[in-house]
Structure 1
Amino acid sequence: MNRPHLHSLLITLNWNRLILNILWVVSIFVFALQLLIYEVIAPLVPSFTPMHYLSKDMLIPDTVFLFIMVILELCHRFYPRRSEGAIISASMALSFMYFRFLNDHFAVAPIVLLFPLLISIIYFKKKYLFICLALSSLVLYGTYYYAGHRTTTDIVEMLIMFCFMFIAAFTGLAVIRRGSELVAQLDMVQQSEQELRIQTILMERMVMIDPLTGLHNHKSFHEHFEKLLADQKLHPFPIQIAIMDIDNFKQVNDTFGHWAGDIALKQAAACIAAHISRKSFAARYGGEEFVILLQEDGIEAAWHIIEKLRKAIACSPIPEMNHRYVTVSIGLHAVEVGETKENAFQQADQALYVSKSEGKNRTTMQ
């Protein structure tokens, strides 16, 4: 299941839970109203028989209501995907039931037929709204049609209730349409924000990453080195800087072409990324020159890592150069606490010069 569909399902389940809670609150309110009618109103109305009202108009509908609510709770817990349809069906069943029991006593009883329409609007689905409208209309018409003695007042009341239901339905359609438009606008805004976020990340990567090798570039190296030196002053920890230069790189370009030189740079960068630890930092400083910041426990440990890297590069043939190898010369320096960035870089650069002057393809510590 993809993330958007899962997110939509979770939102629906949350709404189902909210509607179930509303139904429980409605049940408590209805029960309190029934008790009020039984205790206060029924004794004052001759047509009300207390015991008959208690058994017929309270016990039966409340038992059915409780049964339906238990079924809904079980469905929501064990069959969450069917909970939405179950709630719509239950809202219609409950409204029809209370309409049946209240219609004999109260002229305003048909108003309960609006309840499933209101529930269907919450789900923003037109099919629920049309189904609820159709069934509520049939129940209302059937009740008045089979009522036996129908007066002009009854017909007028039925027509007024039909008008109320259709007004509620058209209002619900307008709400659903407006809600759909807002959702579409929100999706567009989110999509635009996501595209902008991706563009920002790509721009930041373009600014900080060398496009050829995939390593950090000259700018990001200096920013990271400055941050490391500032942290080292606050909480001393070892830092080593290594400057690496591909030997005879101009000869590689002149002999095999610049495209082969680019491949040699990429292969050297891949070796660097494969041999340094996660806390190390590697960058292409410019041309055929790379720089590495390490945080190993002592310069000897850093030297062993750099030596493995140097040997790995020297043992990696390049098919585009007739399976020949390139070698690198490296200068390594342990950065002391309080040492400036310029001085540390100069020390490593001098060590690199020694490696170059003493035959290349070697590592010199300064």
Structure 2
Amino acid sequence: MNSSSVHNSQIPTEYESKHSKWIRKMLHAYWVVVIVHFLIQVGCYLFLKYDRALPDFIVNVLFWPTAISMVCILLASYVDRRFPSCSFTTMSVASTVIAWTIIHVNYDIRIMLAICLLPIFASVLFFNSKRVWFVFSLQMAGYALLLFDPAYRAYLNSFDMVSIPVFLILATYVAQIIVTSGVEVLEDLQQSMEAKQELIVRNAIIAKQSKTDGLTNLYNQSSFKDFYEKAIEYANSGMSLHLALIDIDNFKLINDTYGHRVGDIILEKVSRIIQESITASDIAARYGGEEFALLMLEQSFEQAYNLVEQIRQKISLMGHFELEGAAITVSIGLKGYNLNLSKDKLFEEVDACLYAAKRTGKNKTVTSLIPA
């Protein structure tokens, strides 16, 4: 990992969105710390030998430390609601005051010093190096302020004076290692997710390309055959199905006269008209050269006939700049499926209808039900 990533240690945006949630969780944890400390002090006074007089105990051990801690938590909660951008700073200051207040009350219990680690390790949740070292500076400030108390200073020996700052530095260093490792894990996770998303998109593109014709953006012949098989299964269960074959008239002459590039443009235009005319339940494909296949589901024969006629008429009425303003026509074969037909027989009969349309003048739709 490069130095700039470690230096900035900025967590990804989706984790920043949980900022306020973590702040609230930590403030709830400090409520627990304050309440537990209060109860432990009362229990110690009642059941253990305690060398403080009752008024001194109530005022200096229970009231003031608890009141200061509660005010800090309430203030941090208010800032989190009203000024979210300042919530981390306020929470860190509040937690530092709470930690060193408890340490001050219990300075004769050496293990109590560990409570100042809570703000440091809470800062790890935000995966930001600057925040970790900011909280460390607050702990050092709390320690320095506590040294102004003669009773606390008198309790410390020379080793304590040095070991406490070293203890804080080492704890912060460990927290920094956790942050750095966490950022690396998050970056690896983000890269993995991006790679996975890219792979999904690429596979989707490949899957689409394998199913569609690159020129017309309709389904290709292979995909049409798969849909045709499935459509026959549906038709056998009672769904209506009609098959149409659409062929551009005199397409070879267009290619020979104007070139294959113009021929491609004509194919694109015809496919666009087909796409714009069919319903969401219909399936259109480029079946070969200048031939298109159309499966129409959930329609009556009259609806299917009207649809393909609409396509034929739209195409015949459209002039083409590429053909010097001339129009083109298409011939169409159409037939509905019934249980007496196999899928191959249906295709053969529709193809025969298409041939009949070509042979009897072109620019027409021929079916087995409506005379040519």
TM over 0.5: yes
1:115 to 110, 113, 118: 118
User: Relative to structure 1, is the Cα distance of residues 357 and 83 closer, same or farther in structure 2, using a 3 angstrom cutoff?
Assistant: farther
CA distance in 2, matches of 1:73, 1:344: 75
The CA distance in 1 between the partners of 2:367 and 2:87, in whole Å, is 71
* Residue 87 (str. 1) matches residue 87 (str. 2): no
Q: Please name the residue that 1:23 is paired with.
A: 30
Deviation at 1:53, TM superposition (A): 1.8
Partner of residue 177 from structure 2, selected from 174, 179, 187: 174
Helix, strand or coil: the match of 1:329? Answer: strand
2:42 maps to what in 1? 35
Amino acid at match of 1:196: L
CA 1:175–1:290: 2 relative to 1, 3 Å: same
How far 1:178 sits from its partner (Å)?
A: 1.1
Deviations, residues 210-264 of structure 1 (Å, cap 9, x unaligned):
0001111011111112122223334x21111111001100001011110000000
Q: 1:151 to 1:69 in 2, by over 3 A?
A: closer
- Trace 1:262-341 onto structure 2 (pairs within 5 A): 262-337=264-339, 339-341=341-343
Displacement of 1:73:
3.9
Higher relative contact order (CA 8 A, sep 6+): 2
- Say if 1:76 and 1:273 are closer, same or farther in 2 by CA, change over 3 A: farther
Instruction: Calculate the aligned-residue CA RMSD, in Å.
Output: 2.4
Structure 2 residue 158 is the aligned partner of structure 1 residue 155: yes
- After TM superposition, the structure 1 = structure 2 runs for residues 351-366 of structure 1, keeping only pairs within 5 Å, are 351-366=353-368
- Counterpart residue identity of residue 262, structure 2: A
Residue-by-residue CA offset, 1:98-128 (whole Å, 9 max, x unaligned): 233333x534443322221111112111111
SS of residue in 2 equivalent to 1:345? helix
**Which residue is equivalent to 1:229?**
232
Alignment coverage as a number of residue pairs: 358
Q: Is the 8 A contact 2:76 2:87 kept in 1?
A: yes
Q: Structure 2 vs 1, CA of residues 193 and 355 (structure 1 numbering), >3 Å: closer, same or farther?
A: same
Equivalent positions of 1:49-198 (< 5 A) are 49-77=53-81, 79-103=83-107, 105-147=108-150, 150-151=153-154, 153-198=156-201
Q: 1:135 to 1:344 in 2, by over 3 A?
A: same
What do residues 129-164 of structure 1 show as CA deviations (whole Å, max 9, x unaligned)?
111111211221332254268558533223222121
Q: Distance in 1 between matches of 2:109 and 2:41?
A: 13
8 Å contact from structure 1 (residues 296, 302) kept in 2: no
In 2, distance between residues paired with 1:338 and 1:170? 82
Q: Percent identity?
A: 26
Which amino acid in structure 2 is aligned with residue 11 of structure 1? K
Which amino acid is 2:40 matched to?
L
Q: Which amino acid in 1 is paired with 2:43?
A: L
Provide structure 2 residue ranges, at least 5 long, that are not aligned to the other structure.
1-10
Matched, 1:209 2:237: no
Q: 1:84 to 1:326 in 2, by over 3 A?
A: farther
Deviations 1:274-317 (A, max 9, x none): 11111111111110001111124311011111111111111222
Could you tell me how far 1:203 is from its partner in structure 2? Answer: 1.2
Structure 1: stretches of 5+ with no match in the other structure: none
Distance 1:292 1:83 in 2: 63
Amino acid of the structure 2 residue aligned with 1:228: A
Q: Is the 8 A contact 1:124 1:176 kept in 2?
A: yes
- Quote the offset at 1:194 in angstroms: 1.7
TM-score, normalization: structure 1?
0.89
For 1:131 and 1:184, the matched residues in 2 are separated by 23
SS in 1 for 2:246: strand
Counterpart CA distance in 1 for 2:233 and 2:322 is: 43
Whichever residue aligns with residue 157 of structure 1, its letter is D
